[in-house]
Structure 1
Amino acid sequence: MVTRHTWSVRTRLTLIAITVAALSGLILTVVATLSLYNLAGGFQAREIGDATLETLNLTLRGRLPAVLPPRTSGGIQVLDPRGRVVSSTPNLYGAPRIAEFLPPPGSIRTFRESCDLPRFPGRCMVVATFRIHQPDGDWIVYSADDVVPWYVHPGLFTIIVGTYLLLVTLTGFGVHHAVTRVLVPVNAIRSELAEITATDLGRRVPVPPAWDEIRQLAMTINQTLDRLEAAAEQQRRFTSDASHDLRSPLTAMRAQVEEALHYPEDTDWKAKAHEMLTSLDRLQAIVSDLLMLARLDSGASAFAEPVDLSRLCEEELGRRKRGVKVVRELRSGVTVTGDRLRLARLLTNLMDNAQRHAASRITVSVAAHGDTAVLEVLDDGAGIARDQRDVVFRRFTRLDASRNRDAGGTGLGLPIAREIAEAHGGTLTLEDSPQGARFVLRLPLNR
């Protein structure tokens, strides 16, 4: 069974256009018919009035002939004060009076419509009756004409209806043709997009030359495909890097186990266990970071509460092992809204990175600037080149110097820190400093 839900856009728009045109045309047809009917009725009333006035003039001047010239389709009769027909049009000559009603007392004229006049069987007539006051009595003039039908005239009504049907047909055909032309580039875009999703994300849909909504749609689709291709490429790199970083500790553990199995008598099993624990710690760190990124990527809601950044830094820095000197420049009263555990993870990741690269000192500062809370972590290491500042926030990215100094890093700490900052409506950037790397976290203050 075909329902409206299965109809194409072309069919639906055509039907809507035809329906609107039909309703509009019907209203216009009714209005035009009623207007013509009123015009015809007014014209008929003037005709009857003119014919009657001419007859009255002849009567008053005493020049009334026995046979009047035909002026209306029904005819005219003049009755003397005795009720005798003394003058009429040829079609009523010798016929009895066509009506019995008279103008009401005090009135000289009246109009009536009747469909049962004996002289006009099967016809509906409008009869005008006029009273003429004369010295010898009242004279009566009857003037009859056919009632104007609601359609005024068959030929005229046929023209109106024909024009109405022609306009509806032309509207439907025009809309169908126009929608078909409009949908040609849409169909091309749809076909190309279907092939792109099935084969190659590097292809793009055709962009129509006209600057219209279809061109904007094509451009938006291509922009979406650009982002999709970039996301897919990032996902491939992420998967490749994750596989490589997960494979490294597994390979190390496998080599250690195989070596111990080949030379069981020469193996220091306790030392070997400690070596494997190191690989397991690295593996656990990678898996933990991956789970954190998955939660951040999914947009999982975090617990929001007022967090004093200075107190948070005091507590987290107090728990850390003192490898290098940490200088604290923490102003009290700097409060933000966020997840305390995630903000602590952000600080821990920044401190882990700073500790791996610092020569002798790390400076941690918290302050408020306007409506923004600012946390800075500065080390006195070799620093990071300007062209590498965005690279360090990419997942599984570890610069060569970092790899040489610390083989245990996962390459996910800084990306996780930036994701946490952005989830809190803030930013994490790497900015200029006289020496070392200076990471700056900016979050909205809790007012």
Structure 2
Amino acid sequence: MFTGRRWSVRLRLTLIAVSMTVVSGIALIAIATFSVHDLAGSFKTEEAAGAALQSVHLAKRGRLPPVVPPGKTDGMQLLNAKGEIIASTPNLVGAPRMANFAPPATGVRQDREVCDIPRYPGRCMDVVAFRIYQDEGDWILYAAAGPVPWHVHPELFALVIGASLAIMAVTAAGTYRTVTSALVPVKAIGRELEEITATDIGRRVPVPVARDEIRELAETINQTLDRLEAAAEQQRRFTSDASHDLRSPLAAMRVQVEEALHYPDDVDWKAKTRAMLGSLDRLQAIVSDLLVLAELDSGVPARHERIDLGALVGDELDRRERSVPIDRDLKPGVAIIGNRIRLARLLTNLMDNAERHAVSQVSVRVNLDGGTAVMEVSDDGAGIAPAQRELVFQRFTRLDASRNRDAGGTGLGLPIAREIARTHGGLLRLEDSTRGARFVLRIPLHPGPGGVPHPPSPDP
């Protein structure tokens, strides 16, 4: 199928090039032929005029014979002052005068096209008339030049046609060869793409040496394959981690159920139920987070509205059950555009993480930084090493030092928080702090009517 398309493109481009050459060649042949035809006609008329001037010279000296040699004319006639023909070329002996016009009284030459001359029926001749001043009156000498064929000369026309055909052949061969050479890397790229499968996505298409559009295409395809490979690898890791995390509570519940079935008389059903409810809660949390991530990854748009970030954070903190004291500093009037439910989920995930790692206190700040709204959630725990700050935003990631304390987490809270920040055009990252971990969210302010952020409300 690919080969058929390649041939089709090659032939199509060759035919286009040849067609353009044919059209251009025909136009050039026509222009050249008409130009040469006009030049040849003018040249032939001037040759006739030159031969006539020789006869004028002889007539002025009275040496012109009655029968004049034609020279480079198709015929000449000399008329005296009475209009009588006193000399002519052999082919016009006894013929009537060939023309009835004469040069103006103030001139000696006039050219005119005359048709249907008696000795040249059905033809139009270029006739040159000369006035010869004599004592008894002016004489008139006519010299005729026949028409030039439309092709001027058979050999010249054949030469022009042959050169045009040669140019067309060279153009067709050159275009065909050039397009063929250009499509060789395209064929290699297509062959490699056909062999790449989901299980062999690490392969890349060959990049041509020439720095042209095909090289750019190959590089773009390889960049796309890089992204697909990264996405596939991320998906595999996500699936593996999700399977592992889902298997843990299911395995725990299965052990508890099997233990109850084997030793029904020794089972404390209330304790067993509470243990199974804990496993179910963890399973439900993982499934809930997976659904949220699936929704965020799918790019499903959410309803956005103008939100006072400080007020939203305050309301969520007031409703929250606190496990450690919370120090808050919330600047009012920091307006952004966003989805209230998703932003509340972002804050909840950050607070859950901070409370799990805090020793005695969690701090929450909402402020401004230029045209950006800034929210900070900090704890006074052990903190996170700079080399691991991006690692915590990977899905199902738990740092080894905190696995025992973070057993209740799903490993999806921080990745979900970062995805929510991204869908709001913002950025969530870990920044330096004197103690513990400091998560900083930056979101563009809500633009005012003039295209600038709304100014914050004054501090009370």
- Same topology, TM > 0.5: yes
Paired residue secondary structure (1:256): helix
What pairs up with 1:9-20 in 2 under 5 angstroms?
9-20=9-20
Given the superposition, is the C-alpha separation of residues 105 and 36 from structure 1 closer, same or farther in structure 2, using an over 3 Å criterion?
closer
Listed one character per residue, the Cα deviations across residues 115-154 of structure 1 (whole Å, up to 9, x for unaligned) are 6333235654322344445443453322112112232222
| 1:149 and 2:152 aligned | no
Instruction: Tell me which residue corresponds to 1:313.
Output: 313
Paired residue secondary structure (1:171): helix
Cα pair 1:67 1:88 within 8 Å, conserved: yes
Partners of 2:439 and 2:367 lie apart in 1 by: 14
Instruction: Tell me which residue corresponds to 1:61.
Output: 61
Per-residue deviation at 1:214?
2.8
Partners of 1:183 and 1:214 lie apart in 2 by: 9
Instruction: Tell me which residue corresponds to 1:182.
Output: 182
Listed one character per residue, the Cα deviations across residues 259-311 of structure 1 (whole Å, up to 9, x for unaligned) are 33333343343433333322222222112211211221122222222211111
Instruction: Tell me which residue corresponds to 1:394.
Output: 394
Deviating more after overlay: 306-315 vs 14-23: 14-23
| 1:278 and 2:278 aligned | yes
Paired residue secondary structure (1:404): coil
Deviating more after overlay: 422-431 vs 7-16: 7-16
Per-residue deviation at 1:175?
1.1
Per-residue deviation at 1:233?
0.9
TM-score (norm 2): 0.89
Instruction: Tell me which residue corresponds to 2:85.
Output: 85
What pairs up with 1:335-354 in 2 under 5 angstroms?
335-354=335-354
What pairs up with 1:20-419 in 2 under 5 angstroms?
20-92=20-92, 94-97=93-96, 99-103=98-102, 110-113=110-113, 116-121=116-121, 123-132=123-132, 134-197=134-197, 200-419=200-419
Cα pair 1:113 1:147 within 8 Å, conserved: no
Deviating more after overlay: 115-124 vs 246-255: 115-124
Cα pair 2:193 2:205 within 8 Å, conserved: yes
Deviating more after overlay: 325-334 vs 54-63: 54-63
Given the superposition, is the C-alpha separation of residues 425 and 434 from structure 1 closer, same or farther in structure 2, using an over 3 Å criterion?
same
Paired residue secondary structure (2:377): strand
TM-align CA RMSD: 2.4
Partners of 1:129 and 1:177 lie apart in 2 by: 60
Partners of 1:98 and 1:79 lie apart in 2 by: 8
Paired residue secondary structure (1:8): helix
Deviating more after overlay: 398-407 vs 105-114: 105-114
Per-residue deviation at 1:356?
0.9
Deviating more after overlay: 284-293 vs 313-322: 284-293
Paired residue secondary structure (1:418): helix
Q: What is the identity percentage for the equivalent residue pairs of Structure 1 and Structure 2?
A: 62
Cα pair 1:74 1:125 within 8 Å, conserved: no
Partners of 2:110 and 2:234 lie apart in 1 by: 94
Per-residue deviation at 1:63?
2.4
Per-residue deviation at 1:109?
5.3
Question: For structure 1, which runs of at least 5 residues remain unmatched after alignment?
Answer: none
Per-residue deviation at 1:418?
0.7
Partners of 1:228 and 1:6 lie apart in 2 by: 27
Partners of 1:133 and 1:417 lie apart in 2 by: 112
Which amino acid in the other structure matches residue 44 of structure 2?
Q
Partners of 1:148 and 1:241 lie apart in 2 by: 93
Partners of 1:47 and 1:327 lie apart in 2 by: 112
Cα pair 1:355 1:362 within 8 Å, conserved: yes
Cα pair 2:99 2:114 within 8 Å, conserved: no
Partners of 1:105 and 1:221 lie apart in 2 by: 82
Which amino acid in the other structure matches residue 98 of structure 2?
A
Which amino acid in the other structure matches residue 435 of structure 1?
R
Per-residue deviation at 1:164?
1.5
Which amino acid in the other structure matches residue 96 of structure 1?
A
Paired residue secondary structure (1:365): strand
Cα pair 1:77 1:97 within 8 Å, conserved: no
Given the superposition, is the C-alpha separation of residues 198 and 425 from structure 1 closer, same or farther in structure 2, using an over 3 Å criterion?
closer
Question: For structure 2, which runs of at least 5 residues remain unmatched after alignment?
Answer: 447-452, 454-460
Partners of 2:425 and 2:83 lie apart in 1 by: 104
Per-residue deviation at 1:59?
2.4
Cα pair 1:72 1:144 within 8 Å, conserved: no
Partners of 1:100 and 1:221 lie apart in 2 by: 81
Which amino acid in the other structure matches residue 203 of structure 1?
R
Instruction: Tell me which residue corresponds to 2:458.
Output: none
Given the superposition, is the C-alpha separation of residues 271 and 89 from structure 1 closer, same or farther in structure 2, using an over 3 Å criterion?
same
Per-residue deviation at 1:86?
1.7
Given the superposition, is the C-alpha separation of residues 196 and 160 from structure 1 closer, same or farther in structure 2, using an over 3 Å criterion?
same
Partners of 2:295 and 2:124 lie apart in 1 by: 88
Which amino acid in the other structure matches residue 413 of structure 2?
G
Instruction: Tell me which residue corresponds to 2:449.
Output: none
